Amino acid sequence: MRIDIISLFPEMFTGPLGHSILKRAQDSGLLAVHVTNPRDFAYDKHRIVDDYPFGGGSGMVMKPEPIFRAVENVVNAVASANRRIVLMCPGGQPFDQAKARELAGYEQLILVCGHYEGIDDRIQQYVIDEAVSIGDYVLTGGELPAMVITDAVARMLPGVLGADDGAQHDSFYNGLLEYPQYTRPREFNGWEVPEILLSGDHAKIERWRRKESLRITLARRPDLLDNIELTPQDHKLLQE
Ligand code: ADE
């Protein structure tokens, strides 16, 4: 997959996407990330990318032409790709695991980072396929959301997490939060690992993990239980 990020601050992306799993994904050719600065597509003498809002009001609005040309440029870089153009915007649809999975199905993702008071709405009307928000808070720009989305989407790509595909056990994979994990030592500071995990009884361990997932989800995110069908066995586990 190719992810194109359209941002006025390309330097923000140089560090964060170059480590660990995202680095490996890029080194192995499963993922390519390109950052394009709309300022490079502002053709006036001062390379102006923003202007005052029509109708008055405070703040500046990002002009449509540099963003349009920047998007056009990366669209032309990949002939006839199955692509999605997504705007980072606090007023967008909530980004979640299902959206990450869906976006991972495209060959090219173009993530447009807004700034200032927003971007000229004609871009949203005529260029953007959808707007997404990473949460109900307002950030100074779309760069951090674009990194969040790049990370969440990249780890859904086949091969990125390696052979024993960790994404299968993720929080949200089956609509529940993840069960707790432990590693050595068996006892630390007098704090013990749950006995059942040392038993070697895989059926019992699976049952315990399911129960813990249900218990934690009920305690922290009961809203998630509205979206899934619990089995009679699940109801029994919750009652234990
Ligand atoms: N830009 C500013 N805040 C944002 C948010 N919460 N999600 C996506 N883009 C944003």
- DSSP line for the chain: -EEEEE-S-GGGGTTTTSSHHHHHHHHTTS-EEEEE-GGGG--STT---EEPPTT--SS-EE-HHHHHHHHHHHHHHSTT--EEEEEEEEEEEEP-HHHHHHHTT-SEEEEEEP-TT-B-HHHHHHT-SEEEESSSS--SSSHHHHHHHHHHHHTTSTTTT-SS-GGGGSTTTTSSPPPP---S-SEETTEEPPGGGGS--HHHHHHHHHHHHHHHHHHH-GGGGGGS---HHHHHHHH-
Cα of 149 vs centre of ligand 1, distance in Å, is: 11
pLDDT for position 81 = 80
Catalytic residue numbers read 90, 117, 155, 170
Q: In the structure, which protein residues have their CB atom closer than 6 angstroms to any atom of ligand 1?
A: 88-90, 114, 133-135, 137-139, 142, 145
- What is the 3-class SS of 100-135, one letter each residue? HHHHCCCCEEEEEECCCCCECHHHHHHCCCEEEECC
Residue 204 and residue 124 share a domain? no
Cα of 192 vs centre of ligand 1, distance in Å, is: 41
pLDDT for position 47 = 97
Cα of 90 vs centre of ligand 1, distance in Å, is: 4
The whole-angstrom distance between residue 163's C-alpha and the CA centroid of its chain comes to 22
Ligand 1 pocket, mutate which of 96, 115, 130, 134 (most atoms under 8 A from CB): 134
Last residue of a domain, one of 122, 154, 186: 154
Residue 80 and residue 25 share a domain? yes
**Residue 187 falls within a domain, yes or no?**
yes
Range of 220's domain?
A: 172-239
Cα of 29 vs centre of ligand 1, distance in Å, is: 29
CA-nearest residue, atom 6 of ligand 1: 90
**Residue 117 falls within a domain, yes or no?**
yes
Phi, psi of 2 (to 5 degrees): -110, 130
Domain harbouring 187, CATH code: 1.10.1270.20
ipTM above 0.85 for this complex: yes
Ligand 1 pocket, mutate which of 62, 88, 95 (most atoms under 8 A from CB): 88
pLDDT of the chain along its 240 residues, tens only? 999 999 999 999 999 998 999 999 999 999 999 999 999 999 999 999 999 999 999 999 999 999 999 999 999 999 888 999 999 999 999 999 999 999 999 999 999 999 888 999 999 999 999 999 999 999 999 999 999 999 999 999 999 997 656 676 677 778 999 999 999 999 999 999 999 999 999 999 999 999 999 999 999 999 999 999 999 999 999 999
**Residue 159 falls within a domain, yes or no?**
no
Which atom number of ligand 1 is nearest to the Cα of residue 114? 1
Q: What's the chain's length in residues? A: 240
**Residue 30 falls within a domain, yes or no?**
yes
**Residue 162 falls within a domain, yes or no?**
no
pTM (two decimals):
0.93
Residue 231 and residue 139 share a domain? no
